[in-house]
Chain A
Amino acid sequence: MKNELARDVERVVLFLDVNGERRDLLLPVHKTLLEVLREDMQLTGTKHGCELGECGTCTVLIDGRPELSCLLLPVQLQGRAITTIEGMAHGAELHPLQTAFAELGAAQCGYCTPGILLSARSLLESNAKPSRDEIREALAGNLCRCTGYTKIIEAIELAAGRMK
């Protein structure tokens, strides 16, 4: 294995659209979006899990669709709209999904919650009244080790009802 430290690290200037704001960044070209969000932009709501695409806790929205920030390179994302959990509330006003999750106890340790909220938001934007199976399918890339999923599904149904 080559010695990491001996490698020249190439840096690039990038313009990213994160939560509706244009951010100008000077970044090592190999950094993942997950690393850039957490380390360079202090947006630590996006969680760091397996780093291999298996757990979904690093989910963000790219042009409104859930993708895994641990497997994305910012150089591929110029001109695309990136939404993180920090972009979900409007000022002090929570998104209806966030309110429903809090009310129903759909988060326990909370580690999976940002990713699940974003996957759910994407679902409700394309399907205002999803069935239980459609909710399960939309969340099929987001693992939760605490809740058993029932409260999560109920909270999404509650929010969907309120958002009509």
Chain B
Amino acid sequence: MAAELGSRAMFVAGGTDLFPKLKRRQFEIDTVIGLDFLPREIHNGSNECTVDAGVTLADASRDAHVNARFKGYADAAGLVSSPPLRNAGTIGGNLCVDTRCNYYDMTYEWRKAAGFCMKKDGDICLVAPSSPRCWAVSSSDTAPMAIALDVMSLRLRATPEMRSAYVKLRRRGSIDFPIAGAAVAAQLDGDIVTSCRIVLSAVASYPLQATAAEAFLKGKRLDGEAIDQAAELAARPAKPLDNADLTHFWRKRMVRVVVEQALHRISDQGAGFDG
């Protein structure tokens, strides 16, 4: 059916991203194809865990095994939107959530009045008018965490030394999308970092990996000084634009803070295994 209808159809899981966008005419399609038939189980193995794409964010965030071994992932799922939206919204839908921009997440009439932009119906970017590309923001909470955990096909794998943390910044404590976020997964030998991934949300049009900070931390003791320097390095490549909530200057400053908080959580946390 999807092949036959092509771009006239879209898949829908929880509908919590797609339906508001259809109402705002951001997608104009004839058919939605429900994904209710997809499996929605969490398969817990001894040191890995597979989350089916149809699992709701609420179930992923409450699962005891995911919480014990992949704390950052459970927290990221539990920080998406609000409780009723997490009861419907899925892990698969969260990975595929559309990029966001204040000039795009508006009604058809508003966008028409402002002048359509290149994300849909127009040919310029209203945030960066001379830019040849769209800078709408990647705002998924779980995608950066999945990348930090090096997830393949939603299979989370833990080693005894692995820890993870996710810190999200938004105007209110619920409902709002992230305006900056840090997903960190690290392996520690005692308090020495043996490997580390830091991925930022909502500061680029894709989850942004802070590779310089990762390289800096490798082999270092995870103390206050190392955390400060790593956070500074991680914030450098983040270039938020004026197309999300609050000012982009402040959001840029806060990237350092969310990374610092996530690294402190890693340093305070026990290892990912509870036994």
Contacts and interface: CB of A to CB of B under 8 A. Distances in A.
Interface of A: 1-2, 32, 51-54, 56, 59, 62, 65-68, 70-73, 75-76, 119, 137-143
B34 A119 contact: no
Given A2-B28, A53-B85, A65-B87, A71 B16 contact: yes
Q: Which of A51, A56, A139, A140 has the most CB of B within 10 A?
A: A140
B247 interface: no
A70 B24 CA distance: 13
B16 A141 contact: no
A62 to B, nearest CB: 7
7 contacts: A2-B28, A53-B81, A53-B85, A66-B87, A67-B87, A76-B36, A141-B84
A63 B82 CA distance: 18
B28 A54 contact: no
Contacts of B81: 53, 141
Interface residues of B, number: 23
B84 to A, nearest CB: 4
A59 B174 CA distance: 16
B87 A62 contact: yes
A141 B175 contact: yes
Interface of B: 15-16, 19-20, 23-25, 28, 32, 34, 36, 58, 81-85, 87-88, 108, 173-175
A23 to B, nearest CB: 20
A56 B28 contact: no
Contacts of B34: 75-76
